[in-house]
Amino acid sequence: MVNQAHTEAVAEFRRRKDEHFAAGRGPVQGAALAEFQGLSYFAPDAAWVFTVPVQPGDLAEMTMATNTGEARTMARFGLATVNLPSGPHILSLFAPLGEDKPARVFVPFRDATSRTGETYGAGRYLDAPLAQSPESDEMLVHLDFNMAYHPYCAYGDGWTCPLPPAENVLPDAVQVGEKLPSGEAN
């Protein structure tokens, strides 16, 4: 069950993104922009919201593959274990190089919806906020898959988008967040 505050936060996130795209500041351009009616989304579901401890990473540089073949280098900030319907899964969390205390981490992922055409085949992204646990010195990450979004390369050419590493490929169908319009192949 999704509470009202969460539903409103998800709706506001989506409204702002649609407004950004409609203003021509996103990847939708030309004739597609003139026809833009807003992005497509799954219904929110609180079962896909996790606040879990971060297992610290070594901040080692990791070269991530991209859709264009151009490498992107980020730091492996840490790991987080989420309890998916299929069982626990460990996700890698990334930060820009040189940021040892970021406010949020980057979580590229693919899931079963990426394979069925419900979402972009190369995956989706999360920007997940970090916070200190009120009970301990432990760092927590808030992974709200309702906020999952497609990279710009899902909407047009000319964008370089990092691809999720193998450990961030989820066996489950994450049917929340941004989705492709019905009938659109990726």
Residue 4 lies in a domain: no
Residue 69 lies in a domain: yes
pLDDT the model gives residue 178? 96
Tally of domains within the chain: 1
- DSSP state letters, 75-101: EEEEEEEEEETTEEEEEEEEE-TT-SS
Residue 5 lies in a domain: no
Residue 149's domain comprises 39-179
Which residues, in sequence order, are CB contacts of 176 under 8 Å at separation 6+? Answer: 42, 43, 44, 45, 48, 145, 146, 148
Query: In the predicted model, what is the mean pLDDT of the chain?
Result: 91
Residue 66 lies in a domain: yes
- Residues 72-82 pLDDT 10s: 999 999 999 99
- Asked if 4 contacts 132 with a C-beta cutoff of 8 angstroms, the reply is no
Residue 14 lies in a domain: no
Work out the average pLDDT over 152-169: 91
Residue 34 lies in a domain: no
pLDDT the model gives residue 34? 86
Work out the average pLDDT over 125-153: 94
Residue 33 lies in a domain: no
